Amino acid sequence: MRTRAFTLVEIIITIVILGILSAGTLVSIKHLYLKVAKSKTISDLSSDSQVLTDQIAALLYDRVPSSVIGYNKNGAFSSFYNLNSTYSMMEWIGVASEAQKAGYYSGFVDLTRSNRATNTIYSPDINTTSINSIMQNKFDANSSDLALVFAGSFDDGSIAFSSDFNNSFGWHGNSYNLINTIASINDNNITFTSTPKEIYEKYYLIDSAYAIARGADINLNANCVKDLNKSDADTLFLFYNYRPWQGKTFCADPNGANQDGNVTILSFNVKGFESGLENDSIRFSVTLQKHIKGSDNNITISKQKVVF
């Protein structure tokens, strides 16, 4: 019995058919890969943007009302009540909330036991040792770095307290007319370094200023940023542990002098960060973008949040 062999033409036709099938399979696999990669990227960016907005909102919740400013890399700043798109960075004064939530100070003044002549107010239930411990753990600082702002009229978020906002909180070398620096805290008595202009029954004990900025707007050559080894124009940073009432600004400020404090990374792949007011509440938005490897497409997700 004789076995029939394949002819050269048949072999060539078979190879061509297999090649076509293989090419089609590769295209299908590539499309499947890109589809999976796109879904994963969308999921990752959605999760990252949610976590990021929640983190920023939590930080902003413990702020001194009306202390929030917009700032830009040219050195100009503005109250949030007069903000426009030229201010790409956000700064605010933070309240020493951990100590207050733990019950180490009340935030209220007993006016009948205060003594304006000695620049002293009486505030019940201050635990100086515990406040010092929190400051040490949080900032490697102590209660001498604290300052105080009387609540006055800003509980409603209005800016009516000052016609000269630039000199209200000490931002970027200006005066801090609304901030009272502390000389000592002893036996429920808070003594100031100078006489307060006004004394109210409620106050904010403040421990640090905060700034949020993209790498595109700051000095990426600052040592505090270079030490992170993971920074570029689309990295979103949080700066903290600096105090305008001590003449300081954040450590990668592209302007001025007396840069100080610490920095941490909030997120990567941030193409945009915007902030402003929404019915006297802070509204901010973040835009995250990531390239899908093996394609010409970018995935972009924007998320915004309002903080009351």
What length is written for the chain?
A: 308
User: Cβ-count burial of 106 within 10 angstroms (0-12 exposed, 13-18 middle, 19+ buried)?
Assistant: middle
The pTM of this model reads 0.87
E strand intervals along 145-188? 147-150, 180-186
* The predicted structure's pLDDT at residue 16: 73
Nearest to 116 by CA among 203, 206, 197: 197
Answer for the pair 255, 236: CB distance below 8 angstroms, yes or no.
Answer: no
User: Which tokens hold the place of 170?
Assistant: 């000490």
* The predicted structure's pLDDT at residue 157: 42
Residues of the chain predicted below pLDDT 70:
1-6, 9-10, 18, 21-33, 153-163
**Dihedral angle computed from the Cα positions of residues 45, 51, 55 and 60, in that order, rounded to the nearest 10 degrees:** 70
Output helix, strand, coil percentages for the chain, rounded to the nearest 5.
35, 30, 35
* The predicted structure's pLDDT at residue 160: 43
How far is the C-alpha of 86 from the C-alpha of 73, rounded, in Å?
9
* The predicted structure's pLDDT at residue 183: 94
* The predicted structure's pLDDT at residue 158: 46
